[in-house]
């Protein structure tokens, strides 16, 4: 016994040591494991020689040097002209210059004293930041480049841009508090003071309403970067604390929608270049770093987010969120984000006052404009007065609002803004179903996630209307095996013909709606657990002269190359990946369209399942697995093929009945409820979160997140963040 006690003494002393937190669970990602994850990414990013032109790659090399005594970066590795492209872009005020500005200010805060570059380069960084335009109301400087007047083409109003502009302004102002910034004549400190309340407002809006660019595999990445910059560099306890809590919410949202490294959700904004494979998603590196639920390698050695998360010493993910992401337990997750807008114009808008705005966010108050415009609401009828007033005052028509210019020119009455507004609202009465294609309004999403698969849907979202980059639903079986449907926009080929072999998806399918990106007409999609129904029926007429045209077909992405089996019988197409199954029904007969460029590593095999003959169609999806079908894939197919399906065309769309072998009889039409076995299933009015881990009503700002003995309590009103973990056995009474 004495010998055993003596052997325990070193362990007890170790646990009592001040630096033993890695052995004492505190509710966050264990320090030792997290540091190793960071080094794993840094080793990946620095496997190739330093690329001086890539600011993130330079930062990755310098960060590894900090952590790895055997690794060094030679002095002078980055020449003075290495970042001139970013400086020139910012000087010309080109779109996404704010992304470059965020990279530059992050490098300044992290490595401005490093000899990797001549001091002159850091002066050039400071000059670029102090001559930058930080908001649409700031004067546009009179600059001539290559004989042409510089036009401000930066986009200030999407959700991610708003935070990035304010973050860079705050950090640049704090770095150079006494320097006069040339665009405004304000000092850096004045700029920082201006940005601070705007940042806090943005953070409060996300805490209350979630994200405008909901579930975006592209733009969550661009929210994470400024949030982490605020956490690491702001030196402002309130901003740091609230940014940390909002970043927790971003990761919670991803954790609830990740399957085998794939954030396979419905997306408010996404593109075909991102959504068809886990590693193509811009959040992949940080998702792998934190959740590690895929064996795929990291994606990009020049990832700004990758280096930011691999460098941070302040942000640690709450352990409960990591456990939610890695859970194999079946879960039904309902969520609501964003605010509603009544986009249907009244008969006589001139004599109709605007509706009462939710949460007191008056549509006519310019202080609320960034929030409403972040929803893409510029052409919604009650926003048109402010859009026209501000657009004219700030001369936005030839740059940021170029897509609206043709419509503006139709109604513009020089010197008479009230008359212009009336004309614009009357025109919106005819065109609202198409001109609001970028609108992102209140959305209710549903997810059924199991160990083997995940099904995700935006419930009954803006049915029949154009959606620029909306991704309506998706079934995810693995990193690459996924299925979704889409209504494509018009392409200059015969209706039954192929997409041209030289078609470039990235250049010609964006910003959307395109052949795979967005929806020319959004479906009425509904889901209950592992079954979903999508009814396509465009509710607008074609207007080719304005670019509002679509193909007389719908289609599905169903990649043979990424399935282990694909089987077609009758109206059903079946796929298996490992032990996960998917069945897809089309009311219209389908065909495989070949002879087009691959979407992602399709190996020359079919992936484009087309239902020609009309833009109206019904698609039904049901997912299953070996756990639900012990007889395997064959039993799943047999049950689905034996299920009754009834699709009845109506004056508007279809009435659908489907006898799901796993859930019962589904009935749904273009209007009215979704019913399962005669019982209404809620598809609207969800809480902010409702799932086995957290329940928060919409608009509330307290999130009590639990998984087993781990928890996280976010109390935004109090600014409190509390994580807990099970007590270690040595602390038990």
So what's the pLDDT on residue 500? 76
Residue 630: is its pLDDT beyond 50? yes
Q: Is the pLDDT of residue 21 over 80?
A: no
- The packing angle between helices 284-291 and 237-255, to 10°, is 90
Give me Rg for the CA atoms of the chain. 27
pLDDT of 405? 82
* Residues 40, 288 contacting (CB under 8 angstroms): no
> Which residues lie across from 583 on neighbouring strands?
574, 622
What is the pLDDT, as a whole number, of residue 493? 55
Task: Share the mean pLDDT of the chain.
Answer: 93
Distance CA 363, CA 376 (A): 13
The torsion angles phi and psi of 439, rounded to 5 degrees, stand at: -65, 130
What pLDDT is stored for residue 93 in this prediction?
Answer: 97
Would you kindly state where each structural domain of the chain is located, as residue ranges?
A: 28-328, 349-426, 443-690
Q: Is the pLDDT of residue 135 over 80?
A: yes
Question: With 70 as the cut, is the pLDDT of residue 458 above it?
Answer: yes
Q: Provide the 8-state DSSP code for 408.
A: H
If one counts every other C-beta atom within 10 angstroms of the C-beta of residue 327, the result is 18
Q: What are the tokens at 608?
A: 């484009």
Annotate 379-402 with b (16+ C-beta within 10 A) or e (fewer): bbbbbbbbbbbbbeebebbebbbe
Q: How many CB atoms lie within 10 A of CB 583?
A: 25
Structure token pair of residue 449: 């996630």
Report yes or no: 23 and 14 within 8 Å, Cβ to Cβ. Answer: yes
State the pLDDT confidence band at 15, using cuts at 50, 70 and 90: very low
pTM of the model: 0.94
Maximal C-alpha separation, the chain: 96
Q: What is the mean pLDDT of residues 84-106?
A: 97
Q: What is the CB neighbour count within 10 angstroms for residue 730?
A: 12
Looking from the CA of 587 toward its CB, the CA atoms found within 13 Å total 26
280-316 in b/e burial notation, b at 16+ Cβ within 10 A? bbbbbbbbbbbbebbeeebbbbbbbbbbbbbbbeebb
CB 716 within 8 A of CB 728: no
CA distance linking residue 567 with residue 637, whole number of Å: 9
Contact 683, 668 (CB under 8 A): no
For residue range 377-402, list pLDDT tens digits in order.
999 999 999 999 999 999 898 888 88
C-alpha torsion 449→455→461→464, nearest 10:
180
Q: Which pair of structure tokens corresponds to residue 623?
A: 């997912």
Q: Tell me the pLDDT tens digit for each residue of 665-717.
A: 999 999 999 999 999 999 999 999 999 999 999 999 999 999 999 999 999 99
Return the pLDDT at 370.
94
Contacts of 10 (CB under 8 A, 6+ apart): none
> What pLDDT, on the 0 to 100 scale, is given for residue 350?
81
Confidence of residue 23 (pLDDT cuts 50, 70, 90): low
Ranges 491-500, 523-532, 600-609: which has the least confidence:
491-500
Lowest mean pLDDT among 396-400, 462-466, 721-725: 396-400
With bands split at pLDDT 50, 70 and 90, how would you rate the model's confidence at 351? confident
543-561 pLDDT, tens per residue?
876 778 899 999 999 999 9
Q: Which residue has the tokens 């693995």?
A: 478
Work out the pLDDT band at 138, boundaries 50, 70, 90. Answer: very high
């Amino acid at each position: 016994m004495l010998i055993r006690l003596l052997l325990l003494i070193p362990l007890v002393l170790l646990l009592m040591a001040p630096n033993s937190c890695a052995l004492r669970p505190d509710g966050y990602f264990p320090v030792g494991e997290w540091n190793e994850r960071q080094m794993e990414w840094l080793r990946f990013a620095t496997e190739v020689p330093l690329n001086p032109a890539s600011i993130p790659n330079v930062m990755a090399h310098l960060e590894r040097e900090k952590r790895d005594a055997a690794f060094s970066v030679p002095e002078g590795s980055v020449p003075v002209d290495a970042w001139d492209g970013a400086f020139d872009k910012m000087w010309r005020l080109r779109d996404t210059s704010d992304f470059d500005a965020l990279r530059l200010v992050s490098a300044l805060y992290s490595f401005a004293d490093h000899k990797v570059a001549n001091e002159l380069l850091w002066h050039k960084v400071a000059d670029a930041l102090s001559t930058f335009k930080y908001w649409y109301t700031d004067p546009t400087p009179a600059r001539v480049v290559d004989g042409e007047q510089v036009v401000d083409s930066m986009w200030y109003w999407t959700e991610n841009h708003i935070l990035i502009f304010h973050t860079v302004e705050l950090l640049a102002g704090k770095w150079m508090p006494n320097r006069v910034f040339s665009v405004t004549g304000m000092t850096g400190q004045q700029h920082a003071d201006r940005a601070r309340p705007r940042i806090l407002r943005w953070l409060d809006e996300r805490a209350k309403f979630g994200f405008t660019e909901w579930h975006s595999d592209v733009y969550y990445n661009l929210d994470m970067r400024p949030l982490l910059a605020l956490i690491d560099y702001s030196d402002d306890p309130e901003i740091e604390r609230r940014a940390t809590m909002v970043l927790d919410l971003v990761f919670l949202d991803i954790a609830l929608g990740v399957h085998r490294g794939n954030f396979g959700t419905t997306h408010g904004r996404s593109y075909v270049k991102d959504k068809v494979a886990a590693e193509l998603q811009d959040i992949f590196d940080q998702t792998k770093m934190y959740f590690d639920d895929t064996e795929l390698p990291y994606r990009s050695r020049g990832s700004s987010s990758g280096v930011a998360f691999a460098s941070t010493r302040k942000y640690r993910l709450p352990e409960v969120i990591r456990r939610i992401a890695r859970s194999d337990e079946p879960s039904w997750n309902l969520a609501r984000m964003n605010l509603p807008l009544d986009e249907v114009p009244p008969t006589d808008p001139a004599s109709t006052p605007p509706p009462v705005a939710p949460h007191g966010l008056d549509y006519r108050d310019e202080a609320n404009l960034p929030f409403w415009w972040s929803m893409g609401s510029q052409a919604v009828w009650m926003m048109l007065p402010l859009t026209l007033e501000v657009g004219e005052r700030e001369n936005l028509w030839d740059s940021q609002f170029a897509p609206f210019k043709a419509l503006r020119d139709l109604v513009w009455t020089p010197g008479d803004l009230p008359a212009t507004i009336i004309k614009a609202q009357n025109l919106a009465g005819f065109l609202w179903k198409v001109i609001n294609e970028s609108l992102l309004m209140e959305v209710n999403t549903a997810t059924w996630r199991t160990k083997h698969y995940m099904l995700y849907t935006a419930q009954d979202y803006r049915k029949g209307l154009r959606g620029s980059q909306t991704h309506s639903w998706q079934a995810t079986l693995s990193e690459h095996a996924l299925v979704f449907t889409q209504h494509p926009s018009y392409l200059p080929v015969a209706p039954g013909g192929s997409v041209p072999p030289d078609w470039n998806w990235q250049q010609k399918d964006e910003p959307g709606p395109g052949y795979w990106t967005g929806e020319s007409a959004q479906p009425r999609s509904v889901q209950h657990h592992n079954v979903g129904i999508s009814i396509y029926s465009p509710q607008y007429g074609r207007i080719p002269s304005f670019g509002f045209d679509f193909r007389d077909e719908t289609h599905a992405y169903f990649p043979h190359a990424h399935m282990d089996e694909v089987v077609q019988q009758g109206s059903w197409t079946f796929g298996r990946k490992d032990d996960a199954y998917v069945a897809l029904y089309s009311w219209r007969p389908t065909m495989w369209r070949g002879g087009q460029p691959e979407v992602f590593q399709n190996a020359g095999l079919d992936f484009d399942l087309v239902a020609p003959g009309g833009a109206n169609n019904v698609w039904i999806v049901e997912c299953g697995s070996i756990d639900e079908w012990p007889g395997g894939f064959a039993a799943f197919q047999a049950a689905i093929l034996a299920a009754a399906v009834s699709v009845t065309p109506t004056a508007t769309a279809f009435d659908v009945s489907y006898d799901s072998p796993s859930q019962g009889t589904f009935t749904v039409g273009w209007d009215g409820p979704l019913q399962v076995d005669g019982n209404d299933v809620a598809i609207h009015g969800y809480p902010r979160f409702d799932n086995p881990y957290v329940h928060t009503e919409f608009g509330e700002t307290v999130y009590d997140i639990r998984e087993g003995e781990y928890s996280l309590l976010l109390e935004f009103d109090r600014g409190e963040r509390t994580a807990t973990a099970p007590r270690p056995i040595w602390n038990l009474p």
